[in-house]
Amino acid sequence: MTLDAGSISSPAVTSPPEQGPAPGCFTRGVVVVKLGGAAGIEFDAFAADVADLVRSGVRLVIVHGGSDQTTRLAERLGHPPVFLTSPSGHTSRRTDRETLGIFQMACRGIVNQRLVEHLRRLGVNAVGLSGIDGGLWIGRRKDCLRAVEAGVTRIIRDDYSGTVEHVDTRVLEALMAGGFVPVVSPPALSTDGDPINTDADRAAGATAGALGASALLLLSNVPGVLERYPEESSLIRVASRGEFDRLGRVAQGRMKNKVLAASSAVIAGVRRAVIGDARLDQPVSRALRGEGTVLE
Amino acid sequence: MTLDAGSISSPAVTSPPEQGPAPGCFTRGVVVVKLGGAAGIEFDAFAADVADLVRSGVRLVIVHGGSDQTTRLAERLGHPPVFLTSPSGHTSRRTDRETLGIFQMACRGIVNQRLVEHLRRLGVNAVGLSGIDGGLWIGRRKDCLRAVEAGVTRIIRDDYSGTVEHVDTRVLEALMAGGFVPVVSPPALSTDGDPINTDADRAAGATAGALGASALLLLSNVPGVLERYPEESSLIRVASRGEFDRLGRVAQGRMKNKVLAASSAVIAGVRRAVIGDARLDQPVSRALRGEGTVLE
């Protein structure tokens, strides 16, 4: 099984050249953890585990999204969510200007601050950020989205979404040097200075790469990549570089993004990426020990 | 005119003892600017002025509220705002748990991120924070609010509001040391770990005091404290410590809070506080030059 160089060997996880010191020189040993927001996730268990790890000296950067909260808030505000399917079958949220504002309120105003509040109660000196703050996450806004509807492809030009291409780690470094635990949410910032909806898994992967992190953990409501989804006993336990492409083809739906995030991070120099289960106790510690699908 | 020691000589603007180095040892010369959100304020002029000042080496901490946005969002969400009048005539927003969430979405998700986005477009390396992040603003939640309604005083026990009593400046110091411009919004954090609605003028004053700032600027849609409100020609140009109490009695409505914030900051060691006009061009530079009501 060879790596298809075109698909994942050019990960956009480098830091911009103006960043100063070499990426990762302050941040070796950091662990980037992305927490999913779907049903079944034991948020209390996650926070307690984070608090234990921080107390024992592990340096963490936490990343999260806010998709569920965005959907709920959009419905309450009478601007219900629309999901687009690309010609390749990828599903994404239609992010018009109004949805972008709702997305920011949900991610930044609700989910991020609840996480920070909860972690602080457990003694973690957490600081919330979005990808805008300090120019942390920069990506190109997709100037043209193709969406398939009833077999017809239409083109959408006013969407506010894109993928993180550069990570300026300075704000994370400043906070970590001060002993704080950064908790980061979308949006990212486009190269034109607009906020953009961005996939938090991919952003977490790019962040881990730019920091030269020792591990990237992507935790959600499945045990990892399943050979025969949804059969949990078919968990793929480990994949080395030569197998990343096959892993991407096996993965279903949103798991494809996680595999792309994890494999890109490993190719960018992160020692190990783990796609793990957030529904268990000690979910971070378990993933750190290699429970889940390990990419290395 | 003597200072009534009971009313404002014990400002709660000290940093907690665990803060490490003496307050202000990294932050002498910092200017704390609070921007109001009312109609008529020239936001573009504010941001352009901030960008010029930052480029010329002035170190700023920006504070803002989100009252108008909170009201609008609350109405859209079908949970319209309620304002309480205390027996002493002070008006405040009734902040039940639902309103607290709306307040966080408005302050943190909308106003703060728009300010950060806008400043970044002008080259300011801004980072948004709330008073929760890094435990920046700590206050005691009011366990019992008295509200007068149609002549009857009732007691409200489930309100989430309070006044900032301690400022832990470490997160500001970490960010400023990294060259970032902090942009801070409510809520604060209660001593029990709950987010609380807090007055942003008072919080800005407490922050200036704790930082040992060289100036506190409180900018809104009036020229300063008016001897005969709303007659703008009756602007009081300067007040020294012995006159702070009289200034507080002259001030009307929300201006009382600004006078309290400004006078407390000066008593805590801030060289000068200016209550100035945000409706003009270069509003920050003007206030820095002493346009408005100067307390010193």
**pLDDT at residue number B28:** 65
Q: Parallel, antiparallel, or unpaired for β A137-141 and A188-190?
A: parallel
A-chain residues within 8 Å CB-CB of B78?
76
CB atoms within 10 A of CB A281: 12
pLDDT tens track for A140-189? 999 889 999 888 999 999 999 999 999 999 999 999 999 999 999 999 99
Label residue B13 by pLDDT band (50, 70, 90): very low
By C-alpha distance, which of B66, B111, B113, B119 is closest to B93? Answer: B66
Question: A84-93, B105-114, B151-160, B162-171: lowest mean pLDDT where?
Answer: A84-93
A-chain residues within 8 Å CB-CB of B105?
73, 105-106, 109-110
- Check CB contact of B19 with chain A, cutoff 8 Å: no
**pLDDT at residue number A22:** 47
Residue in chain A closest to B183 (alpha carbons) equals: A133
Label residue A2 by pLDDT band (50, 70, 90): very low
Residues linked to residue B84 through DSSP beta bridges, in sequence order: B92
Asked whether B108 and A117 are in contact (CB, 8 A), the reply is no
- Per cent of chain B over pLDDT 90 is 82
Residue in chain B closest to A195 (alpha carbons) equals: B117
Label residue B1 by pLDDT band (50, 70, 90): very low
**pLDDT at residue number A28:** 64
Residue in chain B closest to A133 (alpha carbons) equals: B127
Whole-angstrom distance, CA of residue A205 vs CA of residue A277: 17
**Gap from A260 CA to chain B (nearest CA, Å):** 29
Label residue B119 by pLDDT band (50, 70, 90): very high
Angle at A248 between CA A246 and CA A250, to 5 degrees: 70
**pLDDT at residue number B91:** 85
Whole-angstrom distance, CA of residue B287 vs CA of residue A78: 42
Asked whether A33 and A64 are in contact (CB, 8 A), the reply is no
Q: What DSSP letter does each residue of A43-109 carry, written as one string?
A: HHHHHHHHHHHHHTT--EEEEE--HHHHHHHHHHTT----EEE-TTS-EEE---HHHHHHHHIIIII
Domains of chain A and CATH, by start? 5-81+104-137+165-295 (3.40.1160.10)
pLDDT (average), residues A273-285: 96
Whole-angstrom distance, CA of residue A266 vs CA of residue A244: 10
**pLDDT at residue number A260:** 97
**pLDDT at residue number A23:** 44
A4-11 long-range contacts (CB < 8 A, ≥24 apart) are A4/A245, A7/A245, A7/A248, A8/A244, A8/A245, A8/A248, A8/A260, A8/A263, A8/A264, A8/A267, A9/A267, A11/A205, A11/A206, A11/A209, A11/A263, A11/A264, A11/A265, A11/A267, A11/A268
**pLDDT(B75) > 90:** yes
Whole-angstrom distance, CA of residue B29 vs CA of residue B14: 18
- Quick one: A266 exposed, middle or buried, by C-beta within 10 A (0-12, 13-18, 19+)? buried
A-chain residues within 8 Å CB-CB of B109?
101, 104-110
**What residues of chain B, 185 to 224, have a C-beta less than 8 Å from chain A?**
189, 193-195
**pLDDT(A203) > 80:** yes
By C-alpha distance, which of B129, B214, B205 is closest to B172? Answer: B129
**pLDDT at residue number A161:** 96
A-chain residues within 8 Å CB-CB of B108?
108-109, 112-113
- Check CB contact of B177 with chain A, cutoff 8 Å: yes
B-chain residues within 8 Å CB-CB of A132?
113, 116-117, 120, 128
- Contact yes or no for B175 and A177 at CB 8 A: no
Residue count of chain B:
296
Q: Which of B77, B79, B119, B132 to mutate to test the interface with A (most CBs of A within 10 A)?
A: B132
A-chain residues within 8 Å CB-CB of B120?
132, 135, 189, 193
- Contact yes or no for B171 and A180 at CB 8 A: yes
Q: Parallel, antiparallel, or unpaired for β A137-141 and A162-167?
A: antiparallel
**pLDDT(A217) > 80:** yes
pLDDT (average), residues A228-232: 93
CB nearest to A133's CB, from B104, B127, B193: B127
Whole-angstrom distance, CA of residue A172 vs CA of residue A170: 5
**Gap from A1 CA to chain B (nearest CA, Å):** 45
pLDDT (average), residues A95-104: 96
Asked whether B126 and B119 are in contact (CB, 8 A), the reply is yes
**pLDDT(B21) > 60:** no
Contacts of B114 (CB under 8 A, 6+ apart): none
* Amino acid, single-letter form, for residue B181: V
CB nearest to A133's CB, from B77, B107, B116: B116
Residue in chain B closest to A69 (alpha carbons) equals: B105
**pLDDT at residue number A11:** 36
pLDDT (average), residues A81-95: 90
pLDDT tens track for B208-232? 999 999 999 999 999 999 999 999 9
C-alpha distance across the termini of chain B, in Å: 15
**Gap from B7 CA to chain A (nearest CA, Å):** 33
Instruction: Write phi, then psi, for B158 (nearest 5 degrees).
Output: -105, 30
pLDDT tens track for A7-39? 333 333 344 444 444 444 445 689 999 999 777
**pLDDT at residue number A27:** 58
- Quick one: A234 exposed, middle or buried, by C-beta within 10 A (0-12, 13-18, 19+)? middle
What are the CA-CA distances from residue B120 to residues A194, B47, B99 (Å)? 10, 10, 30
CB nearest to B128's CB, from A76, A133, A180: A133
Asked whether B7 and B248 are in contact (CB, 8 A), the reply is yes
Label residue B60 by pLDDT band (50, 70, 90): very high
Q: How far is Cα of residue A215 from the mean position of the Cα atoms in its chain? A: 13
Structure tokens at A156: 């959408």
- Contact yes or no for A113 and B125 at CB 8 A: no
**Gap from B239 CA to chain A (nearest CA, Å):** 38
**Gap from A104 CA to chain B (nearest CA, Å):** 5
Question: A7-16, B20-29, B140-149: lowest mean pLDDT where?
Answer: A7-16
**pLDDT at residue number B42:** 75
**Gap from B203 CA to chain A (nearest CA, Å):** 18
Label residue B88 by pLDDT band (50, 70, 90): confident
Residue in chain B closest to A108 (alpha carbons) equals: B109
Whole-angstrom distance, CA of residue B202 vs CA of residue B12: 10
Whole-angstrom distance, CA of residue A156 vs CA of residue A161: 11
- Check CB contact of B120 with chain A, cutoff 8 Å: yes
Whole-angstrom distance, CA of residue B23 vs CA of residue B121: 32
